[in-house]
Structure 1
Amino acid sequence: MTSSRSSAPFDADVLIVGGGPVGLTLATDLAQRGHRVAVAELRRYGEPPSVKCNHVSARTMEQLRRLGVAARLRDAGLPADYPNDVVFRTRVTGTELTRIPIPGRSTRYTDTAGPDGWWPTPEPPHRINQIYLEPILLDHAAAQPGVQLFNRTQVAEFVQDEDGVTATLLDLESGATRQLRARYLVGCDGGSSGVRKAMGAKLEGTPVIQRVQSTFIRAPGLKALLTDKDAWCCYAVNPERCGTVFAIDGRQDWLVHNHLHPHEADFDAVDRDWSIRAILGVGPDFHYEVISREDWVGRRLVADRLRAGRVFIAGDAAHLWVPYAGYGMNAGIADAVNLAWLLSARLHGWGGEAILDAYQAERQPITEQVSHFAMDHAQKMIRARGAVPPDIEAQGPEADAERERVGREAYDLNVQQFCCAGLNFGYFYAGSPLIVDDGAQPPAYSMGDFTPSTVPGCRAPHFWLADGGSLYDLLGQGYTLLRLDPAVDVAPLQAAAKALDMPLTVVDPVAAGPLPAAYAHALLLVRTDQHVAWRGDRLPADPAALLAQLAGRSTQTVAAG
Structure 2
Amino acid sequence: MNDTTLKADVLIIGAGPVGLTLAMDLASRGISVIICETRRFAEPPNVKCNHVASRTMEQFRRLGVAQKLRDAGLPADYPNDVVFRTTVTGTELTRIPIPCRRDRYTETEGPDAWWPTPEPPHRINQIYLEPILLKHTAALPGVQLLNRTQFAGFTQDREGVTAIAIEMDSGVTRSIRCRYMVGCDGGSSVVRKQIGAKLEGTAVIQRVQSTFIRAPQLRDMIPGKPAWSTYAMNPRRCGTMFAIDGHETWLVHNHLNAEEPEFDSVDRDQALRDILGVGPDFQYEVISKEDWIGRRLVANRFRDGRVFLAGDAAHLWVPYAGYGMNAGIADALNLSWLLGACVQGWGDEAMLDAYEAERQPITEQVSNFAMDHAQKMIRARRAVPQNIEAPGPEGDALRADIGSEAYALNVQQFCCAGLNFGYFYTGSPIIIADGEHTAPPYSMGDFTPSTVPGCRAPHFWLADGRSLYDAFGPGYTLLRFDRSVDVRPLERAAQSYSMPLTVLDIETAEVPKVYAHRLVLCRADQHVAWRGAHLPFDVYDFVAILRGDAKRVRERKRALAWEGVVAAA
Provide TM-score, normalisation by structure 2.
Answer: 0.96
1:489 maps to: 486
Letter of the 1:145 counterpart: P
Structure 1 position 98 matched with structure 2 position 125: no
1:78 maps to: 74
CA 1:251/1:313 → structure 2, altered by over 3 Å: closer, same or farther? same
1:277 maps to: 273
2:536 maps to: 540
Letter of the 2:324 counterpart: G
Runs of 5+ consecutive residues of structure 1 not aligned to the other structure: none
Structure 1 position 343 matched with structure 2 position 339: yes
Structure 1 position 400 matched with structure 2 position 396: yes
1:508 maps to: 505
Q: Does the CA-based 8 Å contact 1:8-1:181 persist in structure 2? A: no
| Alpha-carbon distance, 1:369 to partner | 0.6
1:149 maps to: 145
Letter of the 2:148 counterpart: R
1:257 maps to: 253
Structure 1 position 267 matched with structure 2 position 300: no
1:234 maps to: 230
Structure 1 position 179 matched with structure 2 position 175: yes
2:379 maps to: 383
| Alpha-carbon distance, 1:6 to partner | 11
1:470 maps to: 467
| Alpha-carbon distance, 1:510 to partner | 2.5
CA distance in structure 2 between the partners assigned to 1:456 and 1:538 by the alignment: 15
Q: How does 1:43-82 map to 2 (within 5 A)?
A: 43-82=39-78
CA deviation profile, 1:11-57 (whole Å, cap 9, x unmatched): 00000000000000000100110011000001000000001100000
Q: How does 1:132-171 map to 2 (within 5 A)?
A: 132-171=128-167
1:312 maps to: 308
Segment of structure 1 superposing worse, 396-405 or 28-37: 396-405
CA deviation profile, 1:151-180 (whole Å, cap 9, x unmatched): 010011111111111111101111111111
CA distance in structure 2 between the partners assigned to 1:386 and 1:33 by the alignment: 51
CA 1:427/1:117 → structure 2, altered by over 3 Å: closer, same or farther? same
Name which of 458, 462, 479 aligns with 1:461.
458
CA distance in structure 1 between the partners assigned to 2:145 and 2:92 by the alignment: 47
Letter of the 1:399 counterpart: G
CA distance in structure 1 between the partners assigned to 2:76 and 2:4 by the alignment: 52
2:323 maps to: 327
CA 1:518/1:237 → structure 2, altered by over 3 Å: closer, same or farther? same
| Alpha-carbon distance, 1:514 to partner | 2.4
Segment of structure 1 superposing worse, 175-184 or 248-257: 175-184
Q: Does the CA-based 8 Å contact 2:36-2:146 persist in structure 1? A: yes
CA distance in structure 2 between the partners assigned to 1:516 and 1:216 by the alignment: 45
- Residue-pair matches, total: 554
SS, match of residue 11 in structure 1: strand
Name which of 213, 216, 231 aligns with 1:217.
213
Identity of aligned residues (%): 71
SS, match of residue 122 in structure 2: coil
2:17 maps to: 21
Name which of 174, 188, 193 aligns with 2:189.
193
| Alpha-carbon distance, 1:468 to partner | 1.2
Q: Does the CA-based 8 Å contact 1:471-1:509 persist in structure 2? A: no
Letter of the 2:63 counterpart: L
SS, match of residue 150 in structure 2: strand
| Alpha-carbon distance, 1:444 to partner | 0.3
Provide TM-score, normalisation by structure 1.
Answer: 0.97
| Alpha-carbon distance, 1:10 to partner | 6.8
CA 1:177/1:7 → structure 2, altered by over 3 Å: closer, same or farther? closer
CA distance in structure 1 between the partners assigned to 2:484 and 2:2 by the alignment: 52
| Alpha-carbon distance, 1:445 to partner | 2.3
CA deviation profile, 1:481-505 (whole Å, cap 9, x unmatched): 0001111100000000011110000
CA distance in structure 1 between the partners assigned to 2:12 and 2:510 by the alignment: 43
Structure 1 position 292 matched with structure 2 position 285: no
CA deviation profile, 1:327-350 (whole Å, cap 9, x unmatched): 000000000000000000011111
CA deviation profile, 1:401-451 (whole Å, cap 9, x unmatched): 110111000000000000000000000001111111111111102111011
Name which of 411, 416, 419 aligns with 1:420.
416
1:355 maps to: 351
CA distance in structure 2 between the partners assigned to 1:472 and 1:396 by the alignment: 54
Name which of 429, 445, 449 aligns with 1:448.
445
CA distance in structure 1 between the partners assigned to 2:214 and 2:372 by the alignment: 33
Question: Alignment RMSD, CA only?
Answer: 1.5
Letter of the 1:506 counterpart: V
Letter of the 1:92 counterpart: V
Letter of the 1:520 counterpart: A
Q: Does the CA-based 8 Å contact 2:52-2:123 persist in structure 1? A: yes
